[in-house]
Amino acid sequence: MIDGFSVYRRNYGHWDISSRDHGRLFRLRGGPSQWDVIDERKGKGANSSMIAFKDQSAAMAYICAELMHELLTVEGQTPHVMESWNINWTNQHDGLGPSYASQPPQTRAEEAR
């Protein structure tokens, strides 16, 4: 979680999300029906990932969710823990998942064996 961040409009269709301590964190570029979020956080590499959104508010919701995530547990409540392998398992093995459907048929047949 970032302690504080600001949103700056540089120009029409050009927004920067920055932190005093970390510099520019995200770039938001685009216009109606095409807003690109470029993640520039340290450790991610400049221009490391770009996600497209149809709506500017959806793009900002994604950025805020990334920067404001807090792992909280209520006092007196037992936390639920899940194994770390579950995180990428679905993308790799779920027959209904998007990455599985994009694989060539022979790859899917090999995985089924």
Question: Which domain range does residue 100 map to?
Answer: 81-113
Q: Are 42 and 93 in a shared domain?
A: no
Q: Among the listed ranges 1-5, 6-10, 42-46, 67-71, which one has the minimum average pLDDT value?
A: 42-46
Q: State in Å, rounded, how far the first CA of the chain is from the last one.
A: 42
**Per-residue pLDDT at 71:** 75
Q: How far apart are CA 56 and CA 62, in angstroms?
A: 10
The total domain count for the chain is 2
Return the pLDDT at 112: 55
31, pLDDT greater than 90: yes
Angle at CA of residue 84, ends 75 and 44, nearest 5°? 100
Token duo for residue 67: 């920067």
Asked whether residue 76 is assigned to any structural domain, the reply reads no
Grade residue 101 by pLDDT with cuts at 50, 70 and 90.
very low
pLDDT in tens, 42-84: 766 555 667 889 999 999 999 999 898 877 777 888 877 777 7
What does the alpha-carbon distance between residue 71 and residue 68 come to, in Å, rounded to a whole number?
10
Do 64 and 92 sit in the same domain of this protein? Answer: no
